[in-house]
């Protein structure tokens, strides 16, 4: 059994990582400041409350946990907020990550799996998007994640740190057993927003633009189930623990769903008609963002199992019906 420090372990993706690490025979230790995470989500190992910006607390956490590797999810991730308050994102995501890497170096921990993002690509002219696409982020959130990828490269060159950075596309779904799930406040992700409208907690779901160059006129995005996402992280961890080298990998299915198709999937799964209204386009929304995930499959043997929209919607709805946190 390996001890794994999971930063952001009380959040949506981090809590799923803790559950699945435990199931895989590891001991997860969550490190979280509970700013956007939930103490109730930490069910699968101990919680160390702390902030990556507090270097003393971070050093103490490594001394207490004695981890063999790190999974790093702790970050702010609201694109709109990052545009309005870039300082917050550069301080939290970049300075916090630098403190984490310094603490790893000081503690002699040389392996990390990092939660990056497809936002590092900006508005690519590739379809599907491969890992070789130019990384030209168009918002501070994407830029902050790209900066951390650069730090990982530099720490490998200077200190031998081995890392895997996974560039996510859209994450959806929830634990099939409904012990944990997605509960952002405020919520910005499409699937839970549609479910809120289905449950009557929102008046409707707004479709931002229906005049894109797509089959139904609405934006298309690649969605991956959160459990499939964590499967990849555990495969990546195994790769590093077995002496494998650093990797930069996309995580997505290679199949896009339009906004209308997501709403229709909720209609079908719940046997109802979700109220919706049309809105105007939002600035900076590309018509189509779909991932080429073949490198993750080739390097790690990763194959998504639950990343079917009906399954993602059904799992998320089951979690929502529990009352959330």
Determine which helix (DSSP H) or strand (DSSP E) holds 163, and give its type and residue range: strand 162-168
Tokens of 27: 């001991």
- Locate 291 and state its tokens: 């991932």
Same domain, 110 and 51: yes
Residue at 76 is within a domain: yes
Residues contacting residue 4 through CB under 8 Å, at least 6 positions apart: 21, 26, 27, 28, 29, 67, 68, 69, 70, 71, 237
CA dist 267 and 100 (Å) reads: 43
Catalytic residue among 12, 89, 121, 141: 141
**Residue length of the chain:** 325
Question: Smallest Cα–Cα separation from 161: which of 232, 238, 108, 117?
Answer: 108
Indicate whether 115 and 202 sit together in one domain: no
Q: What order do you get walking across the sheet with 111-117 strand by strand? A: 47-49, 27-32, 3-7, 69-72, 111-117, 162-168, 247-251
For the domain that residue 94 is a member of, what is the CATH number?
3.40.50.720
Query: How far is Cα 118 from Cα 137, in angstroms, rounded to an integer?
Result: 9
Identify the domain containing residue 40 by its residue range.
3-172+223-251
| Residue 141 falls in the annotated catalytic set | yes
Q: Is 256 in a helix, a strand, or coil? A: strand
Distance CA 4, CA 225 (A): 22
Report if residue 178 sits inside a domain: no
My answer on whether 53 and 201 are in the same domain is no
Do residue 81 and residue 197 come from a single domain?
no
Cα 288 to Cα 123, 190, 254, 291, distances in angstroms: 9, 15, 12, 10
pLDDT tens digits for 182-209?
Answer: 999 889 999 999 999 999 999 999 999 9
Reported as a single tens digit per residue, the pLDDT across 256-296 is 999 999 999 999 999 999 999 999 998 778 889 999 999 99
Q: How many domains does the chain have?
A: 2
The predicted structure's pLDDT at residue 324? 80
Please report the pLDDT score of residue 29 as a whole number. Answer: 98
Look at residue 249 in the predicted model and tell me its pLDDT: 98
In a domain, 73, yes or no: yes
101/230 same-domain check: yes
Mean pLDDT in residue range 150-170: 97
> Average model confidence (pLDDT) for the chain?
96
C-beta of residue 72 within 8 angstroms of C-beta of residue 237 = no
Clarify whether residues 58 and 197 are in a common domain.
no
Residues 231, 90 share a domain:
yes
CATH number at residue 280: 3.90.25.10
20 and 125 part of one domain? yes
Residues 155 and 263 in one domain: no
Q: Which residues pair with 207 in a beta bridge?
A: 278
Is 184 within the bounds of a domain?
A: no
Residue 21 pLDDT grade (very low, low, confident, very high; cuts 50, 70, 90): very high
Predicted pLDDT of residue 311: 97
Q: Looking at residue 284, what is its pLDDT?
A: 73
């Amino acid at each position: 059994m390996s001890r794994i420090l999971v930063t952001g372990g009380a959040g949506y993706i981090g809590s799923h990582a803790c559950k699945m690490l435990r199931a895989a025979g590891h001991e997860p230790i969550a490190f979280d400041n509970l700013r956007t995470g939930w103490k109730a989500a930490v069910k699968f190992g101990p919680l160390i409350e702390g902030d990556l910006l507090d270097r003393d607390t971070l050093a103490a956490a490594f001394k207490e946990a004695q981890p063999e590797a790190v999974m790093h999810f702790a970050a702010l991730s609201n694109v709109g907020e990052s545009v309005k308050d870039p300082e917050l994102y550069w301080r939290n995501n970049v300075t916090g990550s630098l403190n984490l890497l310094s603490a790893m170096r000081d503690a002699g921990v040389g392996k990390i799996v990092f939660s990056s993002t497809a936002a590092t690509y900006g508005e690519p002219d590739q379809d599907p998007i491969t890992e070789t696409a130019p990384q030209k982020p168009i918002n501070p959130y994407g830029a902050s994640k790209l900066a951390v990828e650069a730090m990982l490269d530099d720490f490998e060159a200077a200190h031998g740190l081995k890392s895997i950075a996974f560039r996510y596309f859209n994450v959806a779904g929830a634990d099939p057993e409904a012990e944990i799930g997605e509960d952002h406040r405020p919520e910005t992700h499409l699937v839970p927003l549609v479910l809120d409208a289905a449950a009557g907690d929102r008046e409707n779901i707004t479709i931002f633009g229906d005049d894109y160059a797509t089959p139904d006129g609405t934006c298309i995005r690649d969605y991956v189930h959160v459990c499939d996402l964590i499967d990849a992280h555990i495969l990546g961890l195994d790769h590093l623990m077995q002496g494998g080298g650093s990797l930069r990998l996309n995580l997505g299915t290679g199949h896009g769903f339009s906004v209308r198709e997501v709403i229709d999937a909720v209609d079908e799964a719940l046997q109802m008609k979700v109220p919706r209204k049309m809105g105007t386009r939002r600035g900076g929304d590309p018509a189509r963002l779909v991932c080429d995930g073949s490198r993750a499959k080739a390097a790690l043997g990763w194959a998504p199992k639950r990343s079917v929209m009906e399954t993602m919607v059904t799992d998320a709805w089951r979690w929502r019906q529990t009352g959330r946190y």
